Amino acid sequence: MAGFVVVFDFDKTIIDCDSDNWVVDELNFTDLFNQLLSTIPWNSLMDRMMDELHAQGKTIQDIVDVLKRAPIHPCVIPAIKAAHDLGSDLKIVSDANTFFIETILNHYGIRELFSEIYTNPSFIDDEGRLKIFPHHNFTESPHGCNTYTCPPNMCKGKVIEKIQASMPEEKKIIYLGDGAGDFCPSLKLRDTDFLMPRKDFPVWDLICKSKNLIRAEIHEWTDGEDLQNVLLQIINSSNISTEEEEEDNNGDSSKIISVDCKFQKIPVSAH
Ligand SMILES: [Mg+2]
Ligand SMILES: [Zn+2]
């Protein structure tokens, strides 16, 4: 098996909403968030919003309850599990934060399927307030990326370079994302890699405008069912070609898993 490193964005890729917006909207802080957004960078604003939530009596449990009912397409978890079963190394690169992401992954029992999560660090302080910090401490040392789509707190392209430097040469990356922040890492992929942009979302628009800058093979997807089909097709077809290339094939070197999400049961959290 050639082996893939599958790198997922989180918001609007694994879950079907933006977790930051979801928490703010579900706890009825949308107006304040919108007021402050013009003056405070997004990542700093989320930390500020956690202060506001705490000051107005919202608890960590309130945030957890909201995160547990974030929308997720029923095919996405089976797709993640199948990719893992096929021998892929799974990672997340996200501009959300550790608490939001781990709460949702733990809720679905899939946290341990991911070897690494690169995101904005967060922790709960002594007073029960969630603190959110930038992935790159941009006030002390800017990440230095000039791609205009990268926010000051996180360049996902830098993260991909770090992943590439630490992985075996023969492994290929499959990168899945939807947002403008997923454009920079798309530029870092090699011609043996695969890029899965979500169709009609910002990263797809950016890629369409500058296809000549992308070396990876592009496979678009629209929703969770499509994500599952496209992702597993890339992994399965690569496993088949690896098997064909092997002269002395004893028949157990590759695994093909076909999953139809319609037959998978996804736990539905109480609302
Ligand atoms: Mg996203
Ligand atoms: Zn960048």
Confidence check: pLDDT of 268 > 70: no
Contact 145, 184 (CB under 8 A): yes
Given this model, what pLDDT does residue 40 score?
94
Given this model, what pLDDT does residue 243 score?
64
| pLDDT greater at residue 267 or residue 89 | 89
Catalytic residue among 9, 178, 193, 226: 9
The mean pLDDT of the chain is: 91
Span 26-83, pLDDT tens digits = 999 999 999 999 999 999 999 999 999 999 999 999 999 999 999 999 999 999 999 9
Query: Closest ligand to 14 CA?
Result: 1
- Residue 257 pLDDT grade (very low, low, confident, very high; cuts 50, 70, 90): low
Confidence check: pLDDT of 121 > 70: yes
Query: Closest ligand to 197 CA?
Result: 1
Neighbours of 3 (CB within 10 A): 17
Greatest Cα pair distance in the chain: 67
Ligand 1 centroid from CA 111, angstroms: 18
Query: Closest ligand to 203 CA?
Result: 1
> Positive or negative, the Cα torsion across 147, 151, 156, 159?
positive
Ligand 1 centroid from CA 192, angstroms: 23
Q: Is 11 a catalytic residue?
A: yes
Catalytic residue among 11, 20, 178, 226: 11
> Positive or negative, the Cα torsion across 107, 267, 225, 232?
positive
Ligand 2 centroid from CA 151, angstroms: 8
Ligand 2 centroid from CA 45, angstroms: 21
Span 191-228, pLDDT tens digits = 999 999 999 999 999 999 999 999 999 999 999 999 99
**pTM, rounded to two decimals:** 0.90
- Residue 260 pLDDT grade (very low, low, confident, very high; cuts 50, 70, 90): low
